[in-house]
Structure 1
């Protein structure tokens, strides 16, 4: 059952979730998807998309799965527009 909970992940956690689904970040990300809403900024999405596309990660996430992960991330997340406050 989904709740009103909102979850935010940094780029490193999302990259780990994409590459190693059984990892602690992977399980935390799946829990967030199952129980609430994942908040994502455009900047974070663009960084994740670029990082997981690096050739050195192909053995963990083949190029043909890269698009599926980023597509699912977009579909299952809510984009937030963070503002800077000082």
Structure 2
């Protein structure tokens, strides 16, 4: 199942449980390709959330450290820009 599907299920479960829900945070993972996917899923989540991006990270971690550092910096900057300028409908 995709991270988007699981985020939807989580939101539905929270709606069903209402005030009985005890969970306060979520970790979103599974097919998150880049900061835009991560941003979208965090904003769609009814809980405070972080996302994991294993595939992209590991792909760059196999090479030179500088390539990994550049990749991580680009992802962080992209996420900052998404928060500054984008809105999820």
- Does TM, normalized by the shorter one, top 0.5? no
Per the normalisation by structure 2, the TM-score is: 0.30
- The higher relative CO (CA closer than 8 Å, separation ≥ 6) is in 1
Look at both structures and tell me which one has the larger radius of gyration over its CA atoms.
Answer: 2
With structure 1 as the length reference, what TM-score do the two structures score?
Answer: 0.31
